[in-house]
């Protein structure tokens, strides 16, 4: 066990864990954040995605040691029910899920996309999200939600 | 934390008073609509609190299909209350009606119908109480958001009347629900109540349940279905950091630790140390899988038989064999449960589709009384049928017996889910048919070979929870009977709705399955519709007829014709258009179960002849689901069904050798990604005066057939073996 201080959603948190602990378990269990999900533990599905210094990271394989010192953002850090981030609002407006288990990863990767490309084409959005799996097949709604959020963020 | 039996049954501030046991006098009682028939007390369905909240209770569960929202809409309209007042309690063995499984696209039909009648009756009881209190006749009262007003302006609200209005009696269903013309929220695309928390990190899933003192569990499954545990070094694993308990019972092995990553490391250590005796118990793969299935002993049952109405003899006969492999539910989130034992009482938080049937099987597996178990629904990732949800509940319960009252959250790893969920059955469909001189179908036969499609807890004898069969004293499931017609299981949707002259439907139901199978969305419907609707096109081609015209020519039912015509119009179907070798268009139609929604799907495909890759570029669907409660909810289900079916049809097949399932991760089980998803256009044919028809499973079969027909249209080559992988396409085009 070692002590790590993480900067998560703007707040500093210190945890005592093994250095090779995947970030996901620290976020979910120590910090009690529900956003990132365990989907595969193999960086294959994207449900666990968070941002580290603005870049999407698969928290199920990224170790605590590898991200300590960076700025970590989870979906909780984007906005709240009362103050939704445009992406969160867009996913709700477009009813862009069935079960929603993949939704965290979709939103977080879309956030990174819109930060670097405020005017993504449909093709850009699909390319950015292609590493994320959705089993309920809400893909088209998800693409529309990202387009809607992009439009709102530009206006 | 100490808990008494009384607390166990207590929920919030209210002790539940109604009995959840179905009445023994049921046989003598008049039939009531929907699930009201088996849960006859009004207060089993709704409660009105003095604080102005209306709580509705459903035995169904939310699994991302939006059922909670649809049921709230129905209750809001019947009661005349605002949607915001409505709270909903899903499947909970201590609180809600027993409605069996949330399956078969029946939730709106069963639970929605019950709530509709219960709420209509409750409203009338409340109005009667208000009439007495205000001293005016009921007919003079008006209701708005639960507030009752007399002509003289005197008021009484539901929440003030709840003491006088007795809702603890048996429902009569004599109060007629409102006609569609008086609905305000039914029929509108109310936003789903479960979505906001899912996009803001709210506690939305069983994975998000956190209890004081909770520890984390993992299970160590055998390497193969036929394996037995010989030895394992439990002592060494017990000494690993954080490990709280290692449970071994026969070949069942599980570990609990203080931290989740510690439980995962301990699982790895147990896997490394365990020695298993494996056995070849699995069927062969490839084409041999289907020969093996057809050779297994099974009773030959005639499902339907109809003599030819005319003496016309076929002048042309066709026969074709279609196959469907084992396919996985492949939920995004591996199955998970939280279990806690306190003073001999077990509480389980579960995403099972049936909390009551699960409780019954848990009681058998744990050898305790069902009344000492409470199963509480908490949503999981989309399941699409019977996945590992029930199994993991027993895993957690067995492990939690060793944690001294501390609750255990146990989630399967990805490989647990892929290797151990019960799959959708491999199937073979042999179709034959004959055309008369005018090109009409005058003979039709459909023969299906299949393993079980429903081995859920409660639906079979014995215990159908995975760990039970691994215990030192194993409890096995008894091979189940097939789901009978009129819904059917292996033969679901095998009976054509078309007028095809002499019809014979036969099934070979192999109850004893070498690989565990159970309900995957549509049961046998997906494969049977794929085969049936593919073969319709094969006959149409043999008759030189246009596929749409050919279908309509053989179809009398107006609602069935209407969806085909609507889809054809929406897609600008051009009769007798020719494919160009790379692009084509096809149609598929079914009425799910021959009882649910009507759905026609037309797809466009593009085929890369060099790579063999099929792309479904566009899908148009027309749906008649009777009265529609939530249009966007219906569109979401149909659209998701088409895309999921595109994935099943083009890509999906569980892999195994004779000993082990080799599908262990997404790398072994590709599903469609964003760059492979078609544009989907869904058209709803609302029939507000018709009863609700479920839609969750309406589009999968038609979409699969439409894809097969589009490929045949484009290339002239017929694909009959699912999935349509690039290798198979190249082979067909060679």
Q: What is the pLDDT of residue B447?
A: 98
Nearest CA in chain B to A37: B333
Picking from B201, B645, B663, B695 by the largest number of A CB atoms within 10 A of its own CB, the best residue to mutate is: B201
Do residues B554 and B673 share a domain?
yes
Q: What is the pLDDT of residue B164?
A: 78
| Nearest-neighbour CA in chain A from B329: distance (Å) | 9
Q: Which of residues 265-294 of B touch A (CB under 8 A)?
A: none
Residue B465 lies inside a defined structural domain of this protein: no
Which of residues A21, A46, A77 is at a domain's end?
A77
Closest CA to B80 of B148, B174, B130, B153: B148
Q: Which of residues 2-41 of A touch B (CB under 8 A)?
A: 17-18, 21-22, 25, 28-29, 32-35, 37-41
| Nearest-neighbour CA in chain A from B451: distance (Å) | 24
Nearest CA in chain A to B409: A29
Residues of B in contact with A76 (CB under 8 A): 200-201
Which of residues B166, B181, B198 is at a domain's end?
B198
Which of residues B377, B404, B420 is at a domain's end?
B420
CATH assignment of the domain containing A52: 3.10.20.30
Angle (CA) B121-B127-B129 rounded to 5° is: 105
- Answer whether B194's CB lies under 8 Å from B68's CB: yes
Do residues B183 and B266 share a domain?
no
Residues of B in contact with A16 (CB under 8 A): none
Token pair of B653 as six digits: 């097949």
Cβ–Cβ contact B696 with A under 8 A: no
Token pair of B422 as six digits: 């019960």
Cβ–Cβ contact B210 with A under 8 A: yes
Token pair of B281 as six digits: 């118990």
Do residues B185 and B292 share a domain?
no
pLDDT in tens, B114-172: 999 999 999 999 999 999 999 999 999 999 999 999 999 999 999 999 777 889 999 99
Q: Which residues pair with B341 in a beta bridge?
A: B346
Token pair of B94 as six digits: 């201590």
Cβ separation A95–B382 shorter than 8 A = no
Give the mean pLDDT per block of 10 residues along chain B (734 residues). Answer: 46 36 53 95 95 96 94 98 97 96 90 97 96 96 97 95 86 96 96 98 98 98 97 97 98 98 98 98 97 96 92 93 98 98 97 97 97 98 98 98 98 98 98 97 98 90 94 90 95 98 97 96 98 98 98 98 98 93 97 97 98 98 96 97 98 98 98 98 96 94 98 97 98 96
Do residues A68 and A119 share a domain?
no
Task: Phi first, then psi: give them for residue B398, nearest 5 degrees.
Answer: -65, -40
Which of residues A77, A96, A112 is at a domain's end?
A77
Residues of A in contact with B198 (CB under 8 A): 97, 100, 103
The DSSP secondary-structure symbol of B16 reads -
Count of domains observed in chain A:
2
Residue B463 lies inside a defined structural domain of this protein: no
Residues of B in contact with A142 (CB under 8 A): 674
The DSSP secondary-structure symbol of B544 reads T
Sheet hosting strand B336-342, strand order edge to edge: B243-249, B252-257, B215-219, B408-411, B336-342, B345-350, B373-377
Which of residues B198, B225, B251 is at a domain's end?
B198
Burial class (CB in 10 A: 0-12, 13-18, 19+), B31: exposed
CATH assignment of the domain containing B78: 3.30.365.10
Residues of A in contact with B63 (CB under 8 A): 99
Cβ–Cβ contact A64 with B under 8 A: no
pTM score above 0.80: yes
Q: Which of residues 110-139 of A touch B (CB under 8 A)?
A: 125-127, 129-130, 132-139
Q: What is the pLDDT of residue B416?
A: 98
Q: What is the pLDDT of residue B28?
A: 59
| Nearest-neighbour CA in chain B from A105: distance (Å) | 10
- Answer whether B627's CB lies under 8 Å from B691's CB: yes
Do residues B127 and B54 share a domain?
yes
Domain that holds residue A122: 86-154
Cβ separation A140–B680 shorter than 8 A = yes
Do residues B319 and B370 share a domain?
no
Element (H, E) at B74: helix B67-79
Residues of A in contact with B192 (CB under 8 A): 95
- Answer whether B233's CB lies under 8 Å from B288's CB: no
Count of domains observed in chain B:
3
Picking from A27, A50, A103, A135 by the largest number of B CB atoms within 10 A of its own CB, the best residue to mutate is: A135
Closest partner CB to B674 (pick from A18, A34, A130): A130
The DSSP secondary-structure symbol of A51 reads E
Query: Got the DSSP string for A62-112?
Result: SBHHHHTTSEEE-HHHH--SSS--HHHHHHHHTT--SS-TTHHHHHHHHHH
Token pair of B580 as six digits: 């160009």
Residue B177 lies inside a defined structural domain of this protein: yes
| Nearest-neighbour CA in chain A from B381: distance (Å) | 5
Q: What is the pLDDT of residue B8?
A: 53
The DSSP secondary-structure symbol of B173 reads -
Residues of B in contact with A27 (CB under 8 A): none
CATH assignment of the domain containing A96: 1.10.150.120
Q: What is the pLDDT of residue B525?
A: 98
pLDDT in tens, A132-152: 999 999 999 999 999 999 999
Cβ separation B636–A99 shorter than 8 A = no
Closest partner CB to B198 (pick from A17, A42, A97): A97
Cβ–Cβ contact B6 with A under 8 A: no
Residues of A in contact with B680 (CB under 8 A): 140
Q: How many helices and strands (H and E) does chain B possess?
A: 18, 26
Residues of B in contact with A48 (CB under 8 A): none
């Amino acid at each position: 066990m070692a002590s790590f201080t993480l900067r998560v959603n703007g707040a500093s948190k210190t945890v005592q864990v093994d250095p090779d602990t995947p970030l996901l378990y620290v976020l979910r269990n120590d910090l009690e954040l529900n956003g990132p999900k365990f989907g595969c533990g193999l960086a294959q599905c994207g449900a666990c995605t968070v941002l580290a210094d603005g870049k999407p990271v698969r928290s199920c394989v990224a170790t605590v040691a590898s991200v300590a010192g960076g700025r970590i953002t989870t979906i909780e850090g984007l906005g709240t029910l009362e103050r939704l981030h445009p992406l969160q609002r867009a996913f709700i407006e477009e009813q862009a899920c069935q079960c929603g288990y993949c939704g965290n990863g979709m939103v977080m990767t879309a956030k990174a996309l819109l930060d670097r490309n405020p005017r993504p084409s449909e093709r850009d959005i699909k390319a950015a999200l292609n590493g994320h799996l959705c089993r309920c097949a809400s893909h088209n709604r998800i693409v529309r939600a990202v387009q809607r959020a992009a439009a709102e963020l530009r206006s | 934390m100490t808990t008494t039996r009384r607390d166990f049954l207590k929920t919030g501030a209210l002790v539940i008073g109604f009995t959840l046991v179905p009445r023994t006098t049921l046989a003598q009682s008049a039939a009531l609509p929907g699930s009201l028939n088996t849960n006859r007390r009004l207060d089993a369905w709704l409660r009105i609190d003095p604080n102005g909240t209306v709580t509705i209770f459903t035995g169904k569960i939310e699994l991302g299909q939006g059922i909670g929202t649809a049921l709230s809409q129905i209750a809001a309209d019947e009661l005349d209350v605002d949607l915001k007042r409505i709270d909903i309690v899903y499947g909970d063995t201590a609180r809600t009606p027993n409605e069996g499984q949330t399956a078969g696209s029946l939730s709106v039909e069963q639970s929605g119908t019950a709530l509709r009648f219960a709420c209509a009756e409750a409203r009338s009881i409340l109005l009667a109480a208000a009439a007495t209190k205000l001293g005016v006749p009921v007919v003079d009262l008006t209701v708005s958001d639960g507030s009752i007003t007399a002509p003289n302006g005197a008021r009484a609200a539901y929440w003030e009347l709840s003491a006088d209005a007795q809702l603890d009696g048996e429902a009569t269903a004599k109060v007629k629900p409102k006609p569609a013309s008086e609905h305000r929220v039914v029929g509108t695309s109310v936003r789903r109540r479960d979505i906001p928390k899912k996009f803001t990190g709210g506690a939305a899933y069983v994975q998000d349940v956190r209890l004081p003192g909770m520890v984390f569990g993992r299970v160590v499954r055998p390497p193969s279905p036929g394996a037995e545990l010989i030895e394992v070094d439990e002592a060494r694993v017990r000494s690993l950091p954080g490990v709280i308990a290692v449970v071994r019972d026969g070949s069942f092995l599980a570990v609990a630790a203080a931290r989740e990553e510690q439980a995962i490391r301990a699982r790895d250590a147990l896997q490394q140390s365990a020695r298993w005796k494996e056995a070849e118990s699995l069927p062969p793969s490839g084409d041999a899988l289907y020969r093996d299935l057809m050779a297994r002993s099974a009773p030959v049952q005639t499902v339907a038989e109809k003599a030819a109405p005319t003496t016309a003899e076929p002048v042309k006969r066709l026969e074709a064999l279609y196959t469907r492999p084992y396919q996985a539910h492949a939920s995004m989130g591996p199955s998970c449960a939280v279990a806690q034992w306190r003073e001999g009482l077990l509480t389980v938080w579960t995403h099972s589709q049936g909390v009551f049937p699960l409780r019954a099987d848990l009681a058998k597996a744990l050898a305790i009384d069902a009344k000492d178990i409470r199963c509480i629904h908490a949503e999981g990732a989309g399941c699409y049928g019977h996945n590992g949800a029930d199994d993991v509940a027993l895993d957690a319960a067995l492990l939690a017996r060793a944690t001294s009252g501390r609750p255990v959250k146990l989630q399967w790893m990805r490989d647990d889910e892929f290797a151990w969920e019960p799959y959708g059955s491999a199937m073979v469909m042999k179709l034959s048919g004959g055309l008369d001189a005018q090109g009409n179908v005058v003979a039709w036969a459909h023969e299906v070979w299949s393993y079980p499609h429903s081995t859920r807890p409660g639906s079979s004898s014995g215990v159908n929870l995975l760990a039970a069969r691994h215990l030192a004293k194993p409890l096995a499931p008894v091979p189940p009977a097939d789901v009978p017609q009129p819904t059917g299981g292996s033969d679901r949707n095998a009976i054509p709705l078309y007028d095809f002259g002499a019809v014979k439907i036969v099934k070979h139901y192999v109850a004893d399955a070498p690989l565990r199978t159970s309900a995957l969305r549509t049961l046998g419907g997906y494969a049977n519709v794929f085969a049936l609707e593919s073969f319709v096109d094969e006959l149409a081609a043999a008759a030189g007829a246009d596929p749409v015209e050919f279908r309509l020519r053989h179809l009398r039912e107006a609602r069935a014709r209407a969806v085909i015509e609507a889809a054809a119009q929406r897609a600008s179907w051009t009769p007798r258009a020719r494919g160009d070798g790379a692009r084509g268009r096809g149609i598929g139609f079914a009425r799910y179960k021959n009882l649910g929604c009507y759905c026609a799907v037309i797809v466009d495909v593009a085929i890369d002849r060099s790579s063999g890759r099929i792309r479904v570029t566009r899908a148009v669907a027309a749906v008649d689901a009777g009265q529609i409660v939530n249009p966007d909810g219906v569109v979401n289900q149909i659209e998701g069904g088409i895309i999921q079916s595109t994935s099943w049809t083009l890509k999906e097949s569980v892999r195994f050798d004779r000993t082990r399932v080799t599908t262990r991760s997404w790398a072994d089980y590709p599903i469609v990604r964003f760059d492979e998803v078609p544009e989907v256009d869904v058209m709803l044919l609302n029939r507000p005066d018709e009863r609700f028809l479920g839609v969750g499973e309406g589009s999968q079969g038609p979409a699969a057939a439409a894809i097969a027909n589009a490929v045949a249209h484009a290339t002239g080559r017929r694909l009959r073996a699912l999935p349509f992988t690039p290798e198979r396409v190249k082979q067909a085009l060679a």
